[in-house]
Structure 1
Amino acid sequence: MQGNRKGNVRFWVVMLALLGLSTAYDLLIIRRMDKQRMMERWTWATVVVGVAYTLAAVALLDWRAARLVLVAFMFSGTPMSIGDLVRYLERKTEGDRVLNAVVRSKRT
């Protein structure tokens, strides 16, 4: 990042844009998904989207740093995203199993 006044202004413009974008993302997307009970299933995806636009903002300041962090997040985030999805599917399968057992017990 540039050390001059222009670089500092650019830095703060990007940071304030991130603040505004993240606030809007939370209010317009995350909260709506939460009210519709979709967050449990899609938490991993909302994190990926947030990381992606943050990396895009960093790229505006220093594309080399953004590229390095992108690769690091690919290696660190992929197992967590897959793990979150697998845990959701396990909970869903267990919930379906319990629900089916309750329905069967009501029939007998």
Structure 2
Amino acid sequence: MSDTFDPDHLRAELLPLSTLQAPSEEAQAYQRFYGLNALGPNGATSSRIGRVEVGGYDIVTQLWVPDQPVGTLVLMHGFYDHVGLYRHVIDWALGLGLAVIACDLPGHG
């Protein structure tokens, strides 16, 4: 499988985050490209990628959950950023036992 992906195709195929679905090949390529596929201690983390509708926008959202979460970190990036730049923060939070939910704001990611 290639680590290249088409962001427009990926966004178009995403189901709501609440839908339990296996990530598509495109989503897996995206996660591998940014190193978001094997986070947390020993890779023992479940993850999901989907969309959440907010104010008329479909927001690409990702969720990582350790085996026994002790809390949740909501990650909101700044202007010109995207979730792919925050792998180190996500990994740090998962190492502390925190679930992490992160989204790319409209026009980002």
Instruction: Name the TM-score, length of structure 2 as normaliser.
Output: 0.21
Please tell me whether Structure 1 or Structure 2 has the larger radius of gyration of its CA atoms: 1
Bigger proportion of residues as strand: 2
Instruction: Name the TM-score, length of structure 1 as normaliser.
Output: 0.21
Bigger proportion of residues as helix: 1
